[in-house]
């Protein structure tokens, strides 16, 4: 296996110091050799040299098309999977240097909420037991019932929901139960992985509001992973745009949405259908050709170049690094829009 090349990480420093610092994160998956392919191992470059900070109380949105590595970043941050290389610092501590026991304690402070409210709850457990489970696992003493009730109320459900089972709840309610569970240990960081994608828009709005309200009250940070760019714009303070395992552009969310400098960001934003017929019918659209290339053999140089209308020979030869643009965000492009 070739050693992944780590460039000097450039990040936008989070104001007031970072809660989470990710530097040069790499995750490769070994794939079993396919029959007839003479035993050669294939390596999926799921995340390649990703660096970012998350400040206390901040929401970092992670957007990008399917397979761009968003979930893998989230899982590496929580150390649900072992990164291939790179550093994850949480509250000033390098997670790789912790013993198993120390990691278990730190994990209390980091939680994850998944996309599928149906799959993420144990159907045989009452809602109350599901919410209390992290407390039990972490050996937290005291009256769990009281805590469960306050958590249910926090997410807009009521005390008598505790005795019921997941199948008695709608998608939006189940997602609230998942959030209550994630909140049980007072986390400082919650990774929200497509938390509203499975919900109807009318229900989605309530869950999005819940995330915003909880953050205003409790001050935790979120990594908000979604492919719906409009939802991310609504929730995120900063946003990172990923493509084939790399961050293409990162910065203040309004800035990135209003003044995208990476051609991929521009194309992605122009592809998003907006619920406004006048805007939709008058704006010019960038049509990207083809599909995302395979992460097993990503293009040389800039990974986006095979679909980029601005690509030149330079883009194939030299990989662009993240650089500061005039509106303050960073983007990795040899021919940025300014």
Partner 1 sequence: MSESILQIRDLTVTFATPLGPLVAVRGVDLDVGAGELVAVVGESGSGKSVSFLAAMGLLPSTATVQGSVMLDGVQLVGASAKQMRSVRGRLLSMIFQDPLSALNPVHRIGAQISEMLRAHQKMSERAARARAVELLEVVGIPQPGDRAMQYPHEFSGGMRQRVVIAMAIANSPKVLIADEPTTALDVTVQAQILEVIQKVQKQFGTAVVLITHDLGVVARVCDRVNVMYAGRFVERAAVSDLFDAPTHPYTRGLLASLPQAGKERLVPIVGFPPNMLRPPSGCAFRARCADAISDCEHAVPELRAVGAAQSACIRAAELMQPR
Positions touching ligand ATP (CB under 6 A) are 29, 31, 44, 46, 64, 66-72, 227, 295
Q: Which residues contact 211 (CB under 8 A, 6 or more apart)?
A: 179, 192, 195, 222, 224, 235
Candidates 17-25, 34-42, 175-183, 228-236: pick the segment binding partner 1 (CB under 8 A).
Answer: 228-236
Phi then psi dihedrals of residue 113, to 5 deg: -120, 130
Structure tokens at 153: 């109320």
Neighbours of 33 (CB within 10 A): 12
> At closest approach, how far in Å is the CB of 271 from partner 1?
4
Q: How far apart are CA 294 and CA 42, in angstroms?
A: 11
Q: By C-alpha distance, which of 227, 305, 308 is closest to 269? A: 227
Report if residue 68 touches Mg ion, rule: CB under 5 A.
no
> At closest approach, how far in Å is the CB of 66 from Mg ion?
7
> At closest approach, how far in Å is the CB of 81 from ligand ATP?
8
Q: Do the Cβ atoms of 241 and 214 come closer than 8 Å?
A: no
> At closest approach, how far in Å is the CB of 281 from partner 1?
8
Q: How far apart are CA 154 and CA 214, in angstroms?
A: 8
Report if residue 71 touches Mg ion, rule: CB under 5 A.
yes
Residue 205 contacts which entry, Mg ion, partner 1, ligand ATP, none (Cβ below 5-8 A, type-dependent) = partner 1
Given the complex with ligand ATP, which of 262 and 325 has the nearer CB atom? 262
> At closest approach, how far in Å is the CB of 212 from partner 1?
8
Candidates 88-96, 109-117, 265-273, 310-318: pick the segment binding partner 1 (CB under 8 A).
Answer: 265-273
Q: Do the Cβ atoms of 41 and 31 come closer than 8 Å?
A: yes
Chosen residue from 55, 223, 267, 330 binding partner 1 by CB under 8 A: 267
Give SS3 for 48. Answer: strand
Q: Return contacts of 129-136, CB within 8 angstroms, 24+ apart.
A: 130/166, 130/177, 130/181, 131/162, 131/177, 131/180, 131/181, 131/184, 132/184, 133/181, 133/184, 134/108, 134/181, 134/184, 134/185, 135/184, 135/185
Given the complex with ligand ATP, which of 23 and 246 has the nearer CB atom? 246
Number of residues that make up the chain: 338
State which of positions 80-99 bind partner 1 (CB under 8 A). none
Given the complex with ligand ATP, which of 31 and 274 has the nearer CB atom? 31
Residue 44 contacts which entry, Mg ion, ligand ATP, partner 1, none (Cβ below 5-8 A, type-dependent) = ligand ATP
Instruction: Give how many residues touch Mg ion by CB under 5 A.
Output: 1
Report if residue 216 touches partner 1, rule: CB under 8 A.
no
Give the CA count within 13 Å in the CB-facing half-sphere of 4. Answer: 24
Q: Give me the residues that bind Mg ion (CB under 5 A), please.
A: 71
Interface residue list for partner 1 (CB under 8 A): 65-66, 170, 172, 200-206, 208-209, 227, 229-231, 233-234, 257, 267-268, 270-281, 285, 287-288, 290-292
């Amino acid at each position: 296996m070739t050693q992944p090349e780590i460039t000097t990480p450039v990040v936008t420093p989070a104001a007031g110091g970072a809660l989470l610092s990710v530097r040069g994160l790499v995750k490769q998956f070994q794939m079993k050799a396919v029959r007839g392919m003479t035993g050669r191992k294939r390596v999926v470059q799921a995340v390649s040299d990703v660096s970012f900070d998350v400040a206390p109380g901040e929401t970092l949105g992670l957007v990008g098309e399917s397979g761009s590595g968003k979930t893998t970043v989230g899982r590496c941050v929580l150390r649900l999977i072992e990164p291939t290389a790179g550093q994850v610092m949480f509250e000033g501590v390098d997670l790789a240097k912790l013993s198993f026991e120390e990691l278990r304690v730190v994990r209390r402070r980091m939680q994850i909420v998944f996309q599928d409210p149906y799959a993420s709850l144990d159907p045989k457990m009452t809602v109350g037991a599901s919410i209390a489970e992290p407390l039990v696992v972490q050996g937290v003493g005291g009256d769990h019932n009281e805590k469960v009730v306050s958590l249910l109320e926090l997410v807009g459900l009521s005390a008598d929901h505790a005795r019921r089972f997941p199948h008695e709840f709608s998608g939006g309610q189940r997602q609230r139960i998942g959030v209550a569970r994630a909140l049980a240990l007072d986390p400082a960081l919650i990774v929200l992985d497509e938390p509203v994608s499975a919900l109807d828009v009318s229900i989605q709005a309530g869950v999005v509001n819940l995330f915003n309200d909880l953050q205003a009250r409790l001050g935790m940070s979120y990594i908000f992973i979604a492919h719906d760019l409009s939802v991310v714009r609504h929730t995120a303070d900063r946003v990172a745009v990923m493509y084939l395992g790399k961050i293409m552009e990162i910065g203040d969310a309004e800035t990135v949405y209003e003044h995208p400098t990476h051609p991929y960001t521009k194309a992605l934003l122009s592809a998003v259908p907006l619920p406004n017929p006048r805007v939709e019918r008058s704006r010019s659209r960038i049509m990207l050709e083809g599909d995302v290339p395979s992460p097993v053999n990503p293009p040389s140089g800039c990974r986006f170049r095979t679909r980029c209308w601005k690509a030149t020979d330079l883009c194939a030869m030299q990989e662009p690094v993240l650089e500061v643009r005039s509106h303050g965000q960073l983007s990795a492009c040899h021919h940025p829009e300014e």
